[in-house]
Chains A and B, each alone.
Chain A
Amino acid sequence: MVTAQIFPIRNERAHEQVAQFESVSKSFGAVHALTDFTFSVRAGQLTALLGPNGAGKTTAIKLLLGLLRPAAGKVSVFGGNPSDTATHMRVGAMLQVGRVPETLRVREHLDLFSSYYPRPLRMAEALAIAGIEDIANRKFGDLSGGQKQRVLFALAICGDPDLLFLDEPTVGLDVEARHLLWQEIRAMLGRGKTVVLTTHYLEEADALADRVAVINKGSIIAEGTPAEIKARTGGKRIRCVTQVSHSLIRAIPGVVEVQSDRDALIIQTTDAEGVLRALFSLDLRISNLEVTSAGLEEAFLALTRNDS
């Protein structure tokens, strides 16, 4: 089958670089959005750019789309200039947008965007991938937040691009809508596409990415697989009320940090299960126990600590 030739297995193509930043710097007035940024996107993988608001993620995406030009360094996509129309024809983008023309129907938006591309997907196929067949005849303004994001996703994929940029695709969505969009992103990876996604949710990067680059203040502060990143960020966060002293908890293997939070303690750990076993052996009357994935804030604390 032709499909097998065009879409080989993800890892076989991972050595191929689809897009590259070579020592790129970009600033807006006095604000340095990216500083000496070197990074490459590998074919067939999902690369997540993870960082807080204002870290430079959106600037990186806009450079890859040729919407902004680097002040120093070089950005290339498919070996060419990102702003060339020939490049744009192989790229799809879902950007953060405040308002989309509301009086056009979903089908009409798709019809228009498909016409920009040399080999667009059939309308029915694009609607199916984005899971919006049932709302194709609705006007954009009448849709819910999750439906709007799925339509924007459909516009990004309707040209059947080889490379897909998703800038904070699930921001503001509820859990169900977020998971639906994740499924659709995975479907694109299944079709052999390369995806670059920005997010400030560690969980999202974890669920989708082959590779994660953590960005802060315009620089990459960590890069690796999600498992590697998590290992460096102290993994889980335990919150509980206990009589056990700070110093005793700090001595438990796998504990990264202990902090007081009103009457409770917050423990950062790389081995939640082990620490919990130890805690229960020290204090059977532990109460108000919560275990959560380390948030990005904790991740940054841990990462910047590793750097210094």
Chain B
Amino acid sequence: MASGSAVISPAAIMAPNPIRICFKESKYEFLKALRFPIYFVSTVIVPLMFYVLFGLVMGRQSIGSVTAAAYLIPAYGTFGVMGASLFGTAAGLAGDRGMGWLVVKKASPMPTYAYFLAKLVMSMIFSTIDVLMLLVLGVAFGGVHIAPIAAMKLVLTLICGTVPFYSMGLAIGYFATPTSAPAVINLFYLPMSFCSGLWMPIMFLPHFIQKIALFLPPYHLSQLAFAQVGASMGRSQLLHWESLIGFTLICLGLAWVGHQRDQKLNG
């Protein structure tokens, strides 16, 4: 505090701790979503409700070599991961952009990555809640037997699965308006879930839909997850991972275009 003209002279500025910023940003992003009933209901309650109805009530029927109760954990897990990542990211970003809040954040010294990291962390936390609850319900009430290692791999696979849908959420969020975002999300979310075999096992779907599914990221994520309960269609895991990575890169590219467009117009 020696300098008399502290306002002008470049003061020795100690940068705040970026880890602390990211932690707080994520914490409040999570709280924000947790207190927003529509988000919580559509991303956590709906997949669980589906599971109780179709997985537990009709759980003794078998799908391929496994029971419905076991089959539907990866299926609704993928569904939940998609919902948590898409709604949190796309609707949040479109709203923050369209209503000026993102500009307020950018005008502050917040590192931009903290904003985006927080949305990813939030998607991952809700995805984890989804998958863990499905597992608990399945094991406790659905008679599902799953080895601890397989269960852990299932959870980790689905948590990784938030990344492609988070990226897709960014792409939608940069091009949708606050009012159109939820509609655009549902336009992708529901048909993609159906065609990927998340609601009805894919072998029961018409042949042409099974072909379309090869181009849909939820199909690839669900196949990776099904492998953990012994219910995948047996395609190479590498193919599924590569498809998801490719899809992620395309979405991030689109988001980057939207980001550049925003910078020019609104700052």
| A interface residues, Cβ below 8 angstroms from B | 2, 5-6, 8, 13, 16, 18, 28, 43-44, 62, 65, 67-68, 78-80, 85-86, 88-93, 95-101, 103-104, 108, 111-113, 115-119, 139, 152, 155, 159, 162, 165, 192, 194
Q: Tell whether B95 is near chain A: CB-to-CB under 8 Å.
A: yes
Interface string of B1-19 (1 = CB under 8 A from A): 1001111101101111000
29 pairs of residues in contact across A and B, judged by CB atoms under 8 Å = A6-B7, A13-B7, A18-B7, A43-B8, A62-B103, A65-B107, A67-B103, A67-B267, A78-B10, A80-B10, A86-B13, A89-B15, A93-B104, A95-B100, A100-B104, A101-B28, A103-B31, A108-B31, A112-B24, A113-B108, A115-B16, A116-B108, A117-B16, A118-B13, A118-B14, A118-B16, A155-B108, A165-B107, A192-B7
B106 to chain A: closest residue by CB: A67
User: In the bound complex, what is the Cα–Cα distance between A235 and B28 (angstroms)?
Assistant: 50
Q: Tell whether B249 is near chain A: CB-to-CB under 8 Å.
A: no
Q: Which residues of A contact B147 (CB under 8 A)?
A: none
A59 to chain B: closest residue by CB: B267
Q: Which residues of A contact B20 (CB under 8 A)?
A: 115
Q: Which residues of A contact B265 (CB under 8 A)?
A: 28
Q: Which residues of B contact A112 (CB under 8 A)?
A: 24-25, 28
Closest CB in chain B relative to A277 CB, distance in Å: 48
Q: Is the interface of B mostly helix, strand, loop or mixed?
A: loop
Q: Which residues of B contact A93 (CB under 8 A)?
A: 104, 107-108
Interface string of B243-267 (1 = CB under 8 A from A): 0000000000000000000000111
Known: A104-B32, A108-B31, A116-B108. A2 touches B8 (CB 8 A): no
Q: Tell whether B98 is near chain A: CB-to-CB under 8 Å.
A: yes
Closest CB in chain B relative to A147 CB, distance in Å: 17
Interface residues in B, total, Cβ within 8 A: 38
Q: Which residues of B contact A79 (CB under 8 A)?
A: 8, 10
Q: Which residues of B contact A18 (CB under 8 A)?
A: 7-8
Q: Which residues of B contact A62 (CB under 8 A)?
A: 103, 267
Contact A67–B32 (Cβ < 8 Å): no
Closest CB in chain A relative to B62 CB, distance in Å: 43
Known: A44-B7, A108-B31. A89 touches B24 (CB 8 A): no
Q: Which residues of B contact A68 (CB under 8 A)?
A: 267
User: In the bound complex, what is the Cα–Cα distance between A115 and B15 (angstroms)?
Assistant: 10
Closest CB in chain B relative to A168 CB, distance in Å: 12
Contact A98–B109 (Cβ < 8 Å): no
